Chains A and B, each alone.
Chain A
Amino acid sequence: MKKFTLLNGLVAPLDRANVDTDAIIPKQFLKSIKRSGFGPNAFDEWRYLDHGEPGMDNSNRPVNPDFVLNKPRYQGAQILLARENFGCGSSREHAPWALEDYGFRAIIAPSFADIFFNNCFKNGLLPIRLDAGKVEILFREVEANAGYKLAIDLEQQTIGAPDGTVYPFEVDAFRKHCLLNGLDDIGLTLQHVDEIAAFEARHHAAQPWL
């Protein structure tokens, strides 16, 4: 997994609540057996004017000029600013894969759906919960200022705005540790092989039908 330490990135605003994982990556792209290559189809139905299917040459497709991520000023954005309940719906990890492959490294929103939130951390993508009032301020700032960037410091748990405002945020100690160091969960868990085996033996002795 990619490490996440410091990020000074361009911000793109996606101003709608309840953005679901079907919208982030539509179902037809879930047929891939790979983990990569989903970026060109992130937000496919909003981003293009035609219907997308796997295997198409996306560079030749008509883009929707009204979709915010297609605006020239947001090209190269690494931070997605979003609204409530971002990532609701399906558990598809293809959603964070698509966002990460598109180029995002962090998402700031008032709230996230649980499974999506969890999936982000497995892919070097930092989801940050910030209260709705602060998110509202950031929406106004990003829309008012072309080239608006935020500086995210995971170690310090802060977001620095260009006007000098610093927004602190919360993050789980374990998830922070994994992201800062780019650690693979499985390797960490396997350090506890003996405990797992001992638990399993007790568990199955007590419930032999399992």
Chain B
Amino acid sequence: MSAQTLYDKLWNSHVVRQDEDGTALIYIDRQLVHEVTSPQAFEGLRLAHRRPWRIASMLAVPDHNVPTTNRSAGIADPVSRIQVETLDANCAEFGVTEFKMNDIRQGIVHVIGPEQGATLPGMTVVCGDSHTSTHGAFAALAHGIGTSEVEHVMATQCLVAKKSKSMEVRVEGILGHGVTAKDIALAVIGKIGTAGGTGYAIEFAGSAIRALSMEGRMTLCNMAIEAGARAGMIAVDDTTLDYLKGRPFAPQGDLWDKAVVQWRNLHSDQGAAFDAGVLLDAAEIRPQVTWGTSPEMVVAVDGCVPDPATLSADKREGAERALIYMGLSANTPITDIKIDKVFIGSCTNARIEDMRAAAAVIKGGKVTVKQAMVVPGSGLVKRQAEQEGLDRIFTDAGFEWREPGCSMCLAMNDDKLAAGERCASTSNRNFEGRQGQGGRTHLVSPEMAAAAAIAGHFVDVSKL
């Protein structure tokens, strides 16, 4: 057999049937469920008198609407409350395992899946959420789907799909001090654009990727969708296996050993051909800051806000509109941009390593911005951070230490920006209104966000 990419292997091992035009039925191993994109799917099942095909493949958690403070009082917004209660009721009715709002295991769906070992190498993983690409960090084929497809997977355990093209994003070399997986992600998006990966499944490879922790790999795969690729993935290695061993949903004993033998094959073969390739030198990547309203509008922290007049014609109008929305002038040094609020959290950057990295740059400093919040990705991340004393470092510096959830990444709960407020955020999207109508988002790494909270403006963490 000819050399296969990791994507080929994952795809081929899940094809139930394939039609002549390339349309295939793909078997789905794991479906993660949250409250926002599932109610209509459950309702569809009910109306058609259908049952989920394989209940054990499903794992549910409320994350988008949950409050990040004072949970004992429940959810104040009645519309949000109904949505979470609807998830609870649907999971109870159909027998789906759910980590409810006050369960220690509750958290952002893309944090808890891997944390529980519910995401395993070789799996197909779907969820009604575009950041499902996160799970590809475990050499899984993982991508977001719409609610109709959520219902389709519930009812049939399959998805109707066509194979994507493949792209290899290779990052070679050693990242500099203060440069993280988030900066790799933003640098890649800056290079290929937010539509650069459309129609592709991306495999991240190279020595800089192999050197990343699982947390870093999840951050990177999480943002594959911001490059337009539904799926991002990384080959299995010891880092993957060390992370998963002993997790509640991971196989144990003999089964673990058997699984590892198969998982070791989950990499692209020598000489496997990709449809497209991108190469980055890790040493050249600087801490990144977005300046506009699309993740591709990004520069290095030691750069300046670009002058739209110097951009190509197709980018100029969008850049001009973005600068007006962002309240920024061309050629402003990034480190001169003053910040109102800081958000450290989201499915991109709310894992234990992100918490540690943010805490490490505080060094006794105090928050000088209006508000800085840290929202751990799960109850278990929160507990571990507290065991390590990180919560004290944050609260002593003036950060708010919150309960886990999606929070101000998309501002569906009460955590949001007011119009005109400028935020350094570790989340994944700087779209207009994403963090609150009129709010201005700059995407950065946890280190960059924490440093900005202390300084009141962006600082180059590679020089700290």
Contacts and interface: CB of A to CB of B under 8 A. Distances in A.
A51 B429 CA distance: 20
A114 interface: yes
B147 interface: yes
A47 to B, nearest CB: 12
Interface string B34-59: 00110110010000101001100000
Interface in A2-37: 16-18, 20, 22-23, 26-28, 30-35
B37 A189 contact: no
Interface stretch (A67-75, A85-93, A137-145, A155-163): A85-93
Interface stretch (A58-66, A98-106, A117-125): A117-125
When A and B form their complex, which 6 residue pairs have the shortest distance between CB atoms, in order from nearest? A209-B251, A93-B146, A122-B148, A119-B146, A33-B39, A91-B144
A186 B255 contact: no
19 contacts: A30-B36, A31-B82, A90-B129, A93-B128, A115-B145, A115-B230, A123-B148, A173-B23, A185-B160, A186-B151, A186-B152, A186-B155, A189-B152, A192-B16, A195-B16, A196-B25, A200-B157, A207-B262, A210-B29
B325 to A, nearest CB: 11
B23 A174 contact: yes
Interface of B is mostly: loop
A18 B294 contact: yes
B296 to A, nearest CB: 8
B195 A88 contact: yes
A98 B172 CA distance: 44
Contacts of A16: 317-318, 321
A55 interface: yes
Interface size class of A (residues with CB under 8 A): 35 or more
A190 interface: yes
A68 B83 CA distance: 33
Contacts of A17: 314, 318
Contact of B255 (A112, A173, A208): A208
Contacts of B420: none
B198 interface: yes
B237 interface: no
Given A85-B194, A93-B146, A189 B228 contact: no
B432 A89 contact: no
B148 A91 contact: no
Interface in B136-189: 143-149, 151-152, 155-158, 160, 162, 164
Nearest to A190: B156
Contact of A22 (B120, B123, B314, B434): B434
